[in-house]
Amino acid sequence: MRAPLIQILLFSLLNSGSIMAGLVKSDTEDFIDWWPHTVFYQIYPRSFKDSNGDGIGDLKGITSKLRYLADTGITATWLSPIFQSPMIDFGYDISDYKAIQPEYGTMQDFEELIDTAFELGIKVVLDFVPNHSSDQHEWFKKSAAREPGYEDFYVWHDGIVQENGTRVPPNNWPSVFYGSAWEWHEGREQYYLHQFTKEQPDLNYRNPKVVQAMDDVLLFWLNKGVAGFRIDAVNHLFEDESLKDEPLSGKTTDSLSYDYTKHIYSRDLPEVLEMIHHWRQLLDDFSAKHPERPTRIMMTEAYAGLTQLADYYEDSNGVRGSHLPFNFHFITDVKGDSDARDYVYNVEKWLIYMPRGHAANWVMGNHDNPRVASRFGPASVDAMNMLLLTLPGVAVTYNGEELGMVDYRELSWEETVDPPARNVGEKLYQEVSRDPVRTPFQWNNETNAGFSTAAKTWLPVHPNYLELNLEAQKVANRSHYQVYKDLLELRKSAIMRVGRFNIEPLTRWVFAFKRSYPNFESIITVINVSDKEQLVDLSEFLSQPKKLVVEVSGVDSKYQPGQSLAASALLLAAREGLVCRLV
């Protein structure tokens, strides 16, 4: 039934010239491609599944769980870095871009992972970390030694000698991870720039040799069969050549805090867009040369303004860049106390800014930010998954969010390993630590939640694993996992792929959105973001007096799938979400 319906819808769309939610008819290629409607499941390899009992997740562990992804309905995954690394920033400090981190496995393990994923119909996207390498990378060692050809691989500077003879860094730029963004190198007797930890020196993208070296890296992994890349910290790639002091933000007097300056010379420079275009071309060329495999895509990580992110999709000259500039607004712009208007605004603003002909994307969580259950409260888990998975376009889920895993905020200072948390010290570490969101995946109620047989895991398992785990959620009558799975099933229907979209706040605390197409049954999502029960009338929003039939309801809902509801008086429990079919 699915294919014909999609074809009918496609046919009428292609002849209507109408703007769909995030997709237009002029963009038919993208429209029927594999990625614009996909759910990307982020795996944090260190914490997903340990196959050899050393307490650290690994590639064989991931491969052994790909069946789980497929059974859930996941068809694409992006993996946080798996490359050789001293693990100062847990893989975001790479010492060899073409080698697998030994504690994660071997190249053969990676090839097996790719093959298994392929057999299961799962695309694999790798994390590409171009802004900085590890200080243990041979490029950095050679650059530090001024070896010919490598002198300018990184951003070096003599610093400034003050009147009293003391040498200080060239400017006031702070690192994202606290402290000066400059570090003195004894060997080279110069400062080098590091926008993250001092063990992550920034590569110099004004040097064509660096660009070439990174192209080689991308081609290496493309030839191994990956479906694309998530590009890390892309807006940090370039710095203003003047290396001028940045103006103070006025937000803090702590000159070591990243908030101290307005990052006008060290972030979001126009050159970033040129690199994005360059990489897009590389991917498109590769896809064209290898049409037997799917389109290779780029997803970019930048906590940047809407205008910039819109330009990443496609600039004002119509040059295409990132397929999916990550939209982090559900992480950064709504909170537990946000009201319905905030949510609606959050969704609309992306759709308004996104240039026509592109796929929207919604990221609900990642390894750098608190989990949904911790940001919005455990009662919101199902509603937030409903929101994520019924909006038009691409959805990005962080591993464990399908179970409603909770941050392990009680981690002690001694257990803390995240570099920004270690940098700010024992008093403040809890405010910035990303460890709580990175604890091992909770598979079952056995030792270490089934993650590992080790006596000690790299981060402790959240003690709630005895109750909160996948196995328990599979056999329960209702569970977050089952809700998640039902939503993925629903996403397969044509209306979820091509339906027109509109969203409105119904009251201060309840909003609804609709996917519809003439002559097809619409899908309605309605969400109460308050801590109180709310009674709403959907008649006006639906514009016809119709009946709603529940498609997916939350774990604690009094409504069951298949149940009919009157649109004129719908009672929603606190934080409840419902997905209904309009009949």
92 binds ligand NOJ (CB under 6 A): yes
**x/- binding map, residues 404-443, to ligand NOJ, per CB under 6 A?**
----------------------------------------
- Contact present, 51 and 60 (Cβ < 8 Å): yes
The 3 state secondary structure assigned to 447-475 is HHHHCCCCCCCCCCCCHHHHCCCHHHHHH
Residue from 30, 111, 271, 368 touching ligand NOJ (CB under 6 A): that is: 368
One-letter amino acid for residue 527 of the chain:
I
Sites for ligand NOJ among residues 281-320 (CB under 6 A): 301
- Smallest CA-to-CA distance from 345 within 330, 357, 366 is with 330
Structure-token pair, residue 372:
């949904």
Cβ 438 to ligand NOJ, closest distance in Å? Answer: 9
Q: What whole-number distance in Å separates Cα of residue 460 and Cα of residue 299?
A: 31
CA distances (Å), origin 105, targets 96, 102, 108, 116, 224: 14, 5, 8, 16, 16
Provide the b/e sequence for 226-257 (b: ≥16 CB within 10 Å). Answer: bbbbbbbbbbbbbbeeebeebeeeeeeeeeeb
Q: Which of 9, 20, 87, 129 binds ligand NOJ (CB under 6 A)?
A: 129
DSSP assignment of 377-420 equals -GGGHHHHHHHHHHSSSEEEEETTTTTT----TT--TTT---HH
For ligand NOJ, give the closer residue by CB, 183 or 301.
301
Q: How far is the CB of 26 from ligand NOJ (least distance, A)?
A: 34
**Contact call for residue 324 and ligand NOJ (CB under 6 A):** no
DSSP state of 355: P
Q: Which of residues 501-530 bind ligand NOJ (CB under 6 A)?
A: none
Which residues in 179-208 contact ligand NOJ (CB under 6 A)? 196
Classified as helix, coil or strand, 160 is strand
The active-site residue, picked from 50, 93, 202, 301, is 301
Residues sharing a CB contact under 8 Å with residue 513, sequence separation 6 or more, in sequence order: 347, 390, 391, 501, 502, 503, 504, 524, 525
Q: What are the φ/ψ torsions at residue 132 (nearest 5 degrees)?
A: -145, 155
From the candidates 58, 202, 232, 576, give the one annotated as an active-site residue.
232
370 neighbors 403 (Cβ within 8 angstroms): no
**CB-nearer residue toward ligand NOJ: 236 or 581:** 236
The 3-state DSSP composition of the chain as helix, strand, coil percent (nearest 5) reads 35, 20, 50
First to last CA, the chain: 19
Helices (H) and strands (E) in the chain, counts: 19, 23
Distance from C-alpha of 117 to C-alpha of 448, rounded to nearest angstrom: 26
Known active-site residue 301: yes
Nearer to ligand NOJ, 35 or 196 (CB): 196
Taking the mean position of all CA atoms in its chain, how far away is CA 134?
A: 22
Query: Which residues in the 38-57 window bind ligand NOJ by CB under 6 A?
Result: none
User: Does the protein bind ligand NOJ through residue 268 (CB under 6 A)?
Assistant: no
Please give the sequence-ordered ranges of beta strands (E in DSSP) within 29-132, or none if there are none: 39-43, 76-79, 83-84, 96-100, 123-128
Query: 381 with 577: CB under 8 angstroms?
Result: no
The least distance separating ligand NOJ from the CB of residue 91, rounded to whole angstroms, comes to 8
Centre a 10 Å sphere on the Cβ of residue 288 and count the other Cβ atoms it contains: 10
Give the shortest CB-92-to-ligand NOJ separation in angstroms. Answer: 3
Site string for ligand NOJ, 52-91 (x = CB under 6 A): -------------------------------------x--
Nearer to ligand NOJ, 130 or 392 (CB): 130
Comparison of 92 and 229: residue with beta carbon closer to ligand NOJ: 92
Cβ–Cβ < 8 Å for 512, 525: yes
What residue number has its CB nearest to ligand NOJ?
92
Which residue's CB is nearer to ligand NOJ, number 277 or number 438?
438
Catalytic-residue membership of 410? no
Least distance between ligand NOJ and beta carbon 465 (Å): 24
List binders of ligand NOJ among 220-239 (CB under 6 A): 232-233
Looking at residue 242, the DSSP 8-state letter turns out to be T
As measured in angstroms, the least distance from the Cβ of 55 to ligand NOJ is 20
The binding site for ligand NOJ (CB under 6 A) comprises 89, 92, 129, 196, 232-233, 301, 367-368
- Catalytic residue numbers? 232, 301
